[in-house]
Amino acid sequence: MIRYVLVRGALLVAGLLVSSLLIFLTLRVFPGDVAQLIAGTQASPAEVQALRESLGLDRPLPAQYLDWMGGLLRGDLGTSLLSGASVGEELLLKAQVTVPLGIMSLVIAVLIAVPFGILAAVQRGRRGGTALSVGAQTLAAVPVVWAGMMLIVVFSVWLGWLPPQGFPRTGWSTPGKAIESLLLPALTIGIVEGAMLMRFVRSATLQAAGQDFVRTAAAKGLTRNRALISHGIPAVGLSIITVLGLQVAGIIVGSVVIEQLFTLPGIGRMLIADVGTRDLVKVQSELLVLTGFVLIVGFLVDLLHRTIDPRQRESS
């Protein structure tokens, strides 16, 4: 097990290094000059060049990359080229919105996917199972922006239950209002991601129903559904854990879009604003943090899967 953890940890570090290099090089390909943006349209070429030198943008790309990586190893994500603020401090502030939004979205997705996916498998061939399968297929194909707008119309405009946009200025000092402002965005992401996960849960449950141990349990006197629920569904749990790790990436992507729609002051909205202003240091650090989070979740899912499943331990 220790050797496995070390190997997976080395792959994680390698993935982070490759991701950092790709992010750094990709951002340098984008058109535009942050020095020109800061100096303004009335600045002379000499003034723009002087500003580029003061910001270190005229240095060779390898030197800029090594400086950035050196700061990351010290825990310093850099300083914004435009505002001069610490990127790490801004990320921690915005994470107070993005992280709870992601957790709420994941919980909603699981609460939708697991019971309804199992029910759709148990009711296969019946009207209820067909309706659930069609509903999951339809919701999974819905763009998250369109789903968010429809939920705003229903729950904010028609019913008036939830605020349509914004986050309280007082933040989490008023937890009730903060949760209320995140509930509609979390529902938007959770419903779409939950529909995608529900299709997998249904397929995995049906596959488990054909396993020998389920048929053996049914042969001993249990009904087909009882045998499936008692013996098949626990075996599906490992697969669901693996897919949940993949769902995290979808939730992060959905958060970037939803924070714009619901005007939430999170990491996603900040990232889009920084891309528009060509604040390279902030953008590359924000992208690396999001990428690193996805890679770390995958690493933890692998460890959890190996810890729970004795077959993987024996195969080593």
Q: Which helix (H) or strand (E) holds 232?
A: none
Q: What percent of the chain has pLDDT over 90?
A: 30
Co-location of 165 and 198 in the same domain:
yes
pTM here is: 0.85
pLDDT of residue 22: 93
Q: Is the pLDDT of residue 256 over 60?
A: yes
Last residue in a domain, options 58, 73, 88: 73
pLDDT digits (tens, 9 = 90+) for 265-311: 999 899 988 888 888 888 999 999 999 988 898 888 888 877 776 55
Helix axes 233-261, 280-308, angle to 10 degrees: 170
CB-based contact 182:255 (threshold 8 Å): no
CATH number, domain with residue 146? 1.10.3720.10
Do 68 and 100 belong together in one domain? Answer: no
What is the spatial distance between Cα 295 and Cα 271, in angstroms, rounded to a whole number?
A: 19
Q: Which residues contact 111 (CB under 8 A, 6 or more apart)?
A: 190, 194
> Is 253 found in the same domain as 120?
yes
How many structural domains does the chain have? 2
Could you tell me if 54 and 186 lie in one domain? no
The yes-or-no verdict on residue 85 having pLDDT over 60 is: yes
Do the Cβ atoms of 297 and 245 come closer than 8 Å?
Answer: yes
Whether residue 171 sits in one domain with residue 33: no
Q: Same structural domain for residues 161 and 236?
A: yes
Instruction: Please report the DSSP string for 99-167 in residue order.
Output: HHHHHHHHHHHHHHHHHHHHHHHHTTTSHHHHHHHHHHHHHHTS-HHHHHHHHIIIIIIIS--S-SS--
3-state secondary structure of 79: strand
**Ramachandran region, residue 309 (left: φ > 0; alpha: ψ -120 to 50; beta: rest):** beta
Residue 28 CA from chain centroid, whole number: 25
SS3 label, residue 75: coil
Distance CA 167, CA 211 (A): 49
Domain limit, last residue, from 220, 250, 265: 265
If asked whether residues 215 and 184 sit together in one domain, one would say: yes
CB 194 within 8 A of CB 108: yes
**Model confidence band, residue 148 (pLDDT cutoffs 50, 70, 90):** very high
Range of the domain at 186: 96-265
Q: What is the pLDDT of residues 123-142, one digit of tens each?
A: 887 888 889 989 998 888 88
Residue 87 lies in a domain: no
Residue 40: predicted pLDDT? 67
Residues forming a β-bridge with 86 = 79
Residue 267's pLDDT is: 92
